[in-house]
Chains A and B, each alone.
Chain A
Amino acid sequence: MDENPSDDPYVCEPLHGSHPRGDGTDRVPPALEDANVLSNEPVADDVWLMRLSAPRTAATARPGQFAHVRLSQERDSVLRVPLSFFAATPSEGTISLLYQVLGASTRLMSQMRRGEACDLIGPIGRGWLDRRAPAATIFEPRRAILVAGGLGVAPLATLAENLAATGCRVDVVVGARTTSRIAARERLETVCPDLSIATDDGSEGYHGLITHLVSERLATHVPEDPYDYCAICGPAPMEVAAAHLVQGTGIYAEVSTERLMACGVGACLSCVVPTTRGLVRSCVEGPVFSVEEVVWDEL
C-alpha cells in the first residue's frame, strides 16, 4: 500500500486530506467549482477545444494536473470525466480542455454551447516535475524530450512552454493516427519549430510508430548535450514502449498514466497503478509518475 515513503528519491508521502504535500510546497486541495463554457469548437478531426471560466482552478492548476468534470446533472450518468489542463490562464480565470470525442461523455461535451454550465473538481493530482526532486534539490531540466501520443499532447503543451521559458531546450515527438488528428501544433511549434511527427497511415512525417522516432532521438544523445528529462503521455502501449526506451539511460523520465476514475479524489481505489510501492492511486499520487516507480509488466 501507500505507507513507507521508502528510499526511492522520487517518492512522496501519500497525500491525506489537506495535509502539506511533504515536498516543501503546500498542496492546494482540490475544490468543487462551477464552470461556464466560454467556447467549444473542433480543432482537428474528432478533437475539440473547450474553454471554461473556472477562476479558482485556473489560479492553481499546474501542467499535468487534471480536472474531473461533471457534464450533466442528470442521474443517467454517474461518472465524471477526467481531463488534463491544456491551458490555464489565471489572469482571465479560464482553463482549456483539449479532448477527443470517443464515447457518450465526450460526445455530450462536444454538444455543449457557450454559456452552458457544468461543474468540475480541480486541480487534482501531481503534475510534471511535481515530485520531490532527487536529494531534495530543485530539478531544472536543461534539455528535454516530450513524447505525445494522440491526445497525450494535452497535458504536455503547457509543460513544453514552461520548460522553454526557463531556458530548457525542448524536443517534441508527436504521434497520431493521421495528420488531420494532430492537435495543438502551433503551440508546440513555437517551442520546438522542428517537431518530429509519426503517423500510423504515413500521411505526415514518419510512417509508423512514434517510438521509432524516440529511439532515433535518444541515439543522438551525446555526452556534451544530453537529454536530462523526458515526459511521456499517450495510449498505454505507447507509454510502455517509450518507458522501456528511456529506462536505464540516466534521463529522468516521467509518464502520465490514464486510468478509469470514479471519485477522482483518492477515496475509491478504482484508478490504481502498480508501482514499486504497491498499487497506488493514480488520481492523487499521479497521474504523473516517474518511469522508474511504475512496475511496467503489471500495468
Chain B
Amino acid sequence: MSSDVRRAVPVIPAGVELAVDLGGLKMRNPVTDASGTFGCGEEYGDFIDLDALGALTAKGVSPAPWTGNAAPRICETPSGMLNCIGLQNPGMEYFCTHKLPWLASYGVPLIVNVVGHALSEYTTVIERLERETRVDAYEVNISCPNVDAGGMAMGTDPACAAAVTRACRALTSRPLIVKLTPNVTNVADIARAVEAAGADAVSLINTVQGMAIDAHRRRSRLSRPVAGLSGPAIKPIALRMVWQVSKAVGIPLLGMGGIVTGEDAVEFLLAGATAVSVGTANFMNPRATIDVISGIAAFCADEGVRDVNELIGGVQC
C-alpha cells in the first residue's frame, strides 16, 4: 500500500486468465463488491479504478425511498460487525436519474441489487430497470421481510423464494442472480427452488442474524435487537454454505462472507463459487476489492494455475 497511488489497479501477472461467466454475466475477473457496502461506487472511485472490477454491484434499490432504521446502526464485534442499516435507499427513480448517469462514464458491468417488501415491489423495480441500458444484471435480495407473510424473510421459504424468482424471471432476459440468506435450516433447498424457478445464478451469503448487548446499560447496542453479522467472523459459515449449495445446483454461485484477501477468495472458488463479492473488508481497506483481484492473480501465478476457472469447485473433501 503506498500513498501516491490514487486509484488503485490490480497487478495481474502475464499469462493468468481471470475472466469468468456468472450465469451469462461476463466478468473480466471474479471480483465484485458486496451490495450495501459500496454505495453505487462513487465514493470508492476516489480509491480504486472501478473499471478494474469484474462487476460493480449497486446497493439495494426499492420502488419508493426507504428511510432505514434509527441510529445506532452498526457495532463492532469480534472479527466482524453488526448492522441494521435497514436498506435505506432513495428509490428506483432517483437511482435511474442520478446514479445511472454517473455510472455511464464507466464501462464496468453493473449488477443492481433489488429489494422489496412484497413480490410486487421486486417486479416494479425490475420493470423500471428494464428500460435502462446501463443495467447488466440483477441481484434479487430475498432476505427482506415479506409484509404479506407476517414479516418472515422471503428467502426462508422455498416456495416464496421460487415465486419471487419466477416473477422476476418473467420480466427479464438479463442475468438474474438470487441472493440467499444464511438464516435458514437448509440452504440447499432454497437454492434448488430458485434454480428451478429460473435463476441464472445464486449469491450467498447475506448477513447472519446476530445481537450485541451493552452489559452496563443492559440494552441492545443497536437500534434493532436483531441485526446482521458480516466480516471475517462469518467466513466459515459462508464457505460451508457455498460448498453445500454448489453440490445441490448446477447454476454458478457468487460467494461472499468475510473475504479480505485473495486467498480468502480462492477458498470460495475452491468451495464452488464462480465469482466473489467483497463487503465489510472495504471498510478496513478501501482498496480491498483491488487487493483481492491482485491476490487471486498472484495465487494463480504462484500455483501454476493458468485459468482461474480451474479452481472452481476444486476442493477435495
When distances are taken between beta carbons in the complex, the residues of chain B under 8 Å from A29 are: 46
Tell me how many residues of A have a C-beta within 8 Å of chain B.
39
Could you give, for residues 64-107 of chain B, a 1 whenever the CB lies within 8 Å of some chain A CB and a 0 otherwise?
01011001111110111101010011110010001000100000
Which residues from 21 to 38 on chain A have a C-beta closer than 8 Å to any C-beta of chain B? 29-34
- Indicate if A77 sits at the interface (CB-CB under 8 A): yes
Q: Of the candidates A3, A30, A56, A278, which one forms a contact with B3 in the assembled complex, judged by CB atoms under 8 Å apart?
A: A56
User: Which one of A56, A77, A119 has the greatest number of beta carbons of chain B within 10 Å?
Assistant: A77
Q: Of the candidates B1, B73, B284, B285, which one forms a contact with A269 in the assembled complex, judged by CB atoms under 8 Å apart?
A: B73
Looking at chain A's contact residues, the main secondary structure is loop
Could you give, for residues 98-135 of chain A, a 1 whenever the CB lies within 8 Å of some chain B CB and a 0 otherwise?
00000000000000000000010100000000000000
* A34→B2 contact, CB < 8 A: yes
**CB closest chain-B residue, reference A79:** B76
When distances are taken between beta carbons in the complex, the residues of chain A under 8 Å from B74 are: 79, 260-262, 268, 270
| A31 CB to nearest chain B CB (Å) | 6
Cross-chain pair count, CB within 8 angstroms: 122
**CB closest chain-B residue, reference A30:** B46
Q: How far is the CA of A266 from the CA of B260 in the complex (A)?
A: 20
A1-B94, A267-B44 known; A70 vs B73 contact (CB < 8 Å): no
Q: How far is the CA of A80 from the CA of B74 in the complex (A)?
A: 13
| B111 CB to nearest chain A CB (Å) | 16
Q: How far is the CA of A279 from the CA of B73 in the complex (A)?
A: 12
**CB closest chain-A residue, reference B44:** A267
- Indicate if A138 sits at the interface (CB-CB under 8 A): no
Kindly list 15 other residue pairs between chains A and B, CB separation below 8 angstroms, not including A78-B76, A79-B283. A3-B90, A16-B42, A17-B43, A17-B46, A29-B46, A32-B285, A32-B286, A70-B285, A76-B79, A79-B284, A260-B71, A271-B73, A272-B88, A278-B67, A279-B68
- The 21 listed contacts between A and B (C-beta, < 8 Å) are A17-B45, A17-B102, A31-B3, A32-B1, A32-B286, A75-B79, A78-B232, A78-B280, A78-B283, A260-B73, A260-B75, A262-B74, A262-B83, A262-B280, A262-B283, A263-B43, A265-B43, A268-B283, A269-B73, A272-B68, A279-B68
